[in-house]
A = this chain, B = another copy of it.
Amino acid sequence: MKTDLKALTNLIRYDILQMTTAAGTGHPTSSLSAVEIMTALWFDGYFHYDSQDPKYIFNDRMIFSKGHAAPLLYALYHAAGWIEYEELLTLRTFTSRLEGHPTTDLPWVDVATGSLGQGLSVGIGMTLGINLQLKKLGGLGSRAGGSPTAPPSNVAGKFDLPRSRASTDGRMKRGQNLTRTPNVYVLMGDSEFSEGQIYEALQVASEYKLSNLIGILDINRLGQRGETMLGWDIETYEDRIESFGWNTIVIDEGNDIDAVQSALTKIDFEGSKPTMIMVKTKKGAGISSVEDKDGWHGKPLPKDMLETALKELGEIDTNIRGIVEKPEKMSNDKSQMTNSYDLGTMKFEIPTGDMATREAYGAALKLIAKDPRVVVLDAETSNSTYAETMKEVAPERFFEMFIAEQNMVSVALGMSKIGLIPFVSSFAAFLSRAYDQIRMCQYSAPNVKIVGSHAGVSIGEDGSSQMALEDLGMMRSLLHAVVLYPSDPVSTIKLVDELRAHHGLSYLRLTRAKSGSLYEINESFPIGGSKVLVSSDKDEAVIIAAGITVHEALKAQKELAQNGTTIAVIDAYSVKPLDTQTIVKYATKTGNVIVVEDHYPDGGLGDSVRQALDGLDVKFFTHLAVGKTPRSGTSADLLNFEKIDAEAIVNTVKEKLSQCQSF
């Protein structure tokens, strides 16, 4: 029996209106415009999903980039029989899974959305992730009895997977037993199409020939405060999207279920381009009191208007349910999505000469590449960040993301939701470009490792624009982020592996300049630890440093020791979480703490150490940081200018000790 899609759209509209009016808050009109396109994709055989097994690799994926259309998503869950009507009525209340914007509290939501313009990039990440995992699964693509055919090998990161041969319109007909590559669908609003990240995503999706990525652009003409730039100028949208190398399908009657059904048959899942379905719709479609009317963004209908609206919908079959097709079950296809991987003993020789921590990062990638889940993304700086070393050992797991940091971070998030472990690198200064994307990672149980090289004034000649001096503050401010800042090759390599094993959002700060080795290869560097590099029972002060200033602190310590002044030096490589216990111990012991860092004064290691000292009586606390606007010059020039070099540390220690004596 053919599903009555029209009846389903009525139920979905009914649910959207009921739940938002019950909540007294929410976005019904932005939900209503996309009812037809979503109903057809879900219940006319396109969207394949096993709701009992959301992580299953052969599932299609569905991302609501326009997260404020959450009521539509929840209504689809209800129409699919996944949740009960009663739960809909808990929308936006404190204990409900049905939040104002979709979150990963729901098993079917891969990533939280709500900051617009990010969903397509996440979709790219999931598509690349699925394609990579399927490639690994190799012959598993065909069913028992068939001859396993490995996908053709291809250039690094570019995939050309065998497509479903079940039907030319990409729909899996029940009873057919052929392999089917999952598709990733991303619903977007027209307002968010002004976000630059969208164009970063468009270009990268076509560069990677992601034909199993399907965008849906809901062109309902109205934004939050009025008309969008392009309104219903579908032609211009189409010109733009096609110029980025996408297929386009235009549905002029986007709120006519028959027109939508008929248009969807044109999706080309077999080609080499991603497809954008452009749906001309009306905001508030189907409810004449709000349809295509300004001033109804983010407003539920008041109760009296709801009554009239429901009448307009006519009789609702509240028992009707649509069927979401399930993908075929493969036998052992989950084995590749393991959550742990033992690298065994890492072989690494300590370099005899000096080596920058960014170079050590490159060396580390070569080692951890043995874990097949590790993937590396870089924004056109891989020869500077040394991310390019991944190309030597696992080219299919290196992804050039070009100079487009926002897209890169969201892509990494998407990949992490397919069980991969992405390391994402660029100059640390430019990662600030993706702060909203990094911020949003927090809410999606992420496993994303952000790696910023060229941090601090020590980069020298390139000047202030290239110097990350706020990055520790930016990353510390996130709730659960891990922030690491190694000072030598061994600690860098060990920490990269710690990050590989740690599930979460993390940041690794790397230095451009070369420096000597401080540690032996058998030392360990747990997250949340620190290293006491020098100490004695006569310590008169403790220097707490990280990264490049550890070397300055050691130089200062030697000079002071020659003059009979004994101080301790701590390498606080784990800026967050900080090794509070050790810091407190030495602060208490000496009563004289000097923190030195290559970062602006606020937000970095200094603030982190201060937190550790809450309520302690530390007579002297000095913070040496980058207090003046830096400029071009040599690394030494800059460290000296900012008074964060050995000389400044020596002078500070002397000054504080003389104050201490006169105290």
* Residue ranges of A at the interface with B (Cβ–Cβ < 8 Å): 23, 25-26, 67, 92-94, 96, 99-101, 103, 105, 112-117, 191-192, 194-200, 203, 207, 223-225, 228-229, 236, 239-240, 242-245, 380-384, 388, 402-407, 429-430, 432-433, 435-436, 439-440, 442-443, 461-466, 469-470, 472-474, 476-480, 576, 600-604, 606-608, 610-611, 614-615, 617-623, 626-627, 629, 631-634, 637-638, 641
Contact = CB atoms under 8 A, between A and B. Distances in A.
B621 A618 contact: no
A484 B50 CA distance: 49
Contacts of A243: 236, 239-240, 243
A611 B609 CA distance: 11
Nearest to A24: B461
A383 B473 contact: no
A607 B229 CA distance: 42
Given A23-B461, A196-B406, A623-B614, A603 B476 contact: yes
Closest A-B pairs by Cβ, 7 of them = A196-B196, A114-B465, A473-B477, A94-B633, A477-B603, A470-B477, A433-B436
A615 B619 contact: yes
A465 B477 contact: no
A506 to B, nearest CB: 14
A96 B632 CA distance: 8
A480 B196 CA distance: 28
B632 A224 contact: no
A203 B229 contact: yes
A439 B432 contact: yes
B614 A611 contact: no
Contact of A631 (B103, B116, B242, B472): B103
B474 A402 contact: no
Given A388-B225, A615-B619, A112 B465 contact: yes
A203 B207 contact: no
A21 to B, nearest CB: 14
A648 B375 CA distance: 44
A381 B224 contact: yes
A222 to B, nearest CB: 11
Nearest to A25: B461
Contacts of A67: 465
A244 B404 CA distance: 19
A94 to B, nearest CB: 3
B477 A103 contact: no
Given A114-B465, A615-B621, A629-B442, A474 B435 contact: yes
A110 to B, nearest CB: 14
A148 B113 CA distance: 54
A115 B402 CA distance: 14
A1 B631 CA distance: 41
Contacts of A469: 479
Contact of A478 (B26, B96, B403, B600): B600
Nearest to A628: B479
Contacts of A576: 602
Q: Select the residue from A191, A403, A461, A627 with max chain B CB neighbours within 10 A.
A: A403
Contacts of A607: 602-603, 607, 610-611
A641 B83 CA distance: 26
Nearest to A68: B462
Contacts of A606: 611
B380 A224 contact: yes
Contacts of A384: 224-225
Contacts of A101: 462-466
Contact of A114 (B195, B462, B610): B462
B479 A476 contact: no
A23 B462 CA distance: 11
Contacts of A403: 116-117, 191-192, 194-195, 223
Contacts of A614: 610, 621-623
Contact of A404 (B195, B470, B632): B195
